[in-house]
Amino acid sequence: MHDTLIKILEMSFNKRDPIIWNSWKRSIDFGDSAIELEGFSFQKFSLSTVSKFDFSNTSFKNCEFINVSFHQCNFERSSFFQCKFIDAGTRLIFCHFRDCKFEECHFEDITLSGSVFNYSRFLKCNVIKSSLVEASLVGCRFIESLVDDCNISGASIWDITVEDTTQSNLKINYGKGKSQELIFQDLALANALYIFASNNKNFAGFLDKKSTNFVLILGRFGANLDNLNMIAEALRSRQFSPIIFDFEVEDLTLIETIKFLALLSKFIIVDISNPKSVPSELEAIISTVIIPIVPIVISEYNPFGTFSAYSNLPNVLKPILFDTVQQIVDQIDELIIKRANERYDAIYLTKNQSSGFIDIRMKKN
């Protein structure tokens, strides 16, 4: 069967006629078993472009996709084990990879633009220096993998799961002619910011911490909601735009939303009064962007145990201990706004100031 499969495939590729392959595939009753294609190299069809081939429910093992273009081909429910997708001439454009399993595969310097990978799993895979422009990665799982130096402009990246995976140098292009570029270390965050940038003409202003008036307020709702609302109203009366975020919602994907909102904010107020999930959210923010964080805590509670790990960071201010939220509202200008602005200036002026050169040249006699 394998020899016949290879013969039909090669004939179909040489003629660039998907009907030969697709008709043969439909004529064979494979039952619930997948077609197995092992050790096959598509490099022999180098520089070829093939369209509308049906590779659904196929098992690819140790196959090479090198310097060949696939257009609108169907790979749904297929598995790929130790396959190589490499070379700048390799293009898989508008292909369907829904519900696929990739294990120990290597993607490098290829184009995957417009292809759909929804609900696929990437286990111990490398995706490097490749274009995922306008690809769809909804519901994908990345486990023990690497995604590095890829362009993900316009990609749909929602509800993804990332476990022990390195994400780095992820690029988005926006603005007129897509001439502006931002680089992120997080797939979901880059995707969210791309959407915001593409739909907001004043995007550059939102990234300017000097001009932004957003303040992110983090806490647990329930009994504390009224307290947070009072603080938000006091900020609003001073021309700030407060955003209240609820820790009570148990959804790990919302951490990406928090990180995105933090990126747009001038400073953050975080209620650490007996929280259950504050540490993970705070850690996510600190790892994303350095902006002033003002912790507040009701006197009857103690700050969460791990807060001491953050208290010495330059952007984390001393916590405000209070009996009633009215005490904060009455002194919000001094306790929060002034301190946050001063800390911002201390962080960014120190970061941006120039003190000339450090001269390590050899001294002339």
Nearest to 59 by CA among 93, 82, 89: 82
CA dihedral 224, 226, 232, 237 (to 10 degrees): -160
Half-sphere exposure in the Cβ direction for 230 (13 Å, CA):
15
3-state secondary structure (DSSP) of residue 26? helix
How far apart are alpha carbons 232 and 210 in whole angstroms?
20
Fold observed for domain 214-349 = Rossmann fold (3.40.50)
Block means of pLDDT (10 residues each) for the chain, 365 residues, are 83 89 85 83 82 94 93 96 93 96 97 97 97 95 96 91 90 75 80 72 56 77 73 89 65 65 85 67 72 85 65 85 90 94 79 51 56
How confident is the model at residue 350, as a pLDDT? Answer: 58
Residue extents of the structural domains in the chain: 2-201, 214-349
In angstroms, the CA 196 to CA 186 distance is 16
> Residues 260-302: pLDDT tens digits?
778 778 899 988 876 555 566 777 777 667 789 998 888 776 6
Q: How far apart are CA 66 and CA 104, in angstroms?
A: 17
Concatenated DSSP letters of 243-291: EEEETTS--TTHHHHHHHHHHH-SEEEEE-SS-SSHHHHHHHHHHH---
Strand partners, 141: 121, 161
pTM above 0.75, yes or no: no
